[in-house]
Amino acid sequence: MSLISLPMQATKRIALVAHDNMKANLLEWARYNRGSLSRHHLFATGTTGSLIERELSLPVKRYESGPLGGDQQIGAAIVSREVDFLIFFWDPLEPQPHDPDVKALLRMAVVWNIPMACNRASADFLISSSLLDTPYDRLVPDYRGHQQRPVKV
């Protein structure tokens, strides 16, 4: 499969998501990285976005709460190239009522090859990357062949 290039601007569109047990951890991480985050456009699911707006005084485009469809909305924003970057502090030890939505969100991040961190160490490496504040050409498979395949009905 051939690859196509999808350019990212120097100013990234970063989605921030956290399960309930991880919100304090994400908020602490965001406070520490406020300077870096302030140079980018922020997106978040409902409650997480409210906390970040209130605690960091940064504008955040908020979607619904994750269990109410917010994870799917962020996944759709990735597909429509409205989100470039995903920081998702998810709780691997707590069952989630919307687990299929979480899996779908993570799958979209991989399918569309966006930078993604699912824990603090990975988020630290991504936020401190020299690529964060520069344009970047993200390579993704050319899915046109899949989209134009013959389908039997």
What CATH number is given to the structural domain containing 54? 3.40.50.1380
Q: Are 101 and 71 in contact (CB under 8 A)?
A: yes
In a domain, 2, yes or no: no
Active-site entry in 71, 91, 101, 142: 71
* 137 is annotated as an active-site residue: no
- Please state, in angstroms and rounded to a whole number, the distance separating the CA atoms of residues 111 and 128: 24
pTM for this model (two decimals): 0.90
Q: What are the residues facing 88 on neighbouring strands?
A: 17
Mean pLDDT (whole number) for 14-28: 94
Write down the residue that tokens 């691997």 correspond to: 92
Mean pLDDT (whole number) for 62-75: 91
pLDDT of 10 over the 90 cut: yes
In a domain, 1, yes or no: no
Domain count, the chain: 1
| Predicted local distance difference test score (pLDDT) of residue 149 | 76
> 70: exposed, middle or buried (C-beta count within 10 Å: 0-12, 13-18, 19+)?
buried
In a domain, 52, yes or no: yes
Which residue range(s) make up the domain with 99? 9-147
Q: What band does 122 get if pLDDT is binned at 50, 70 and 90?
A: very high
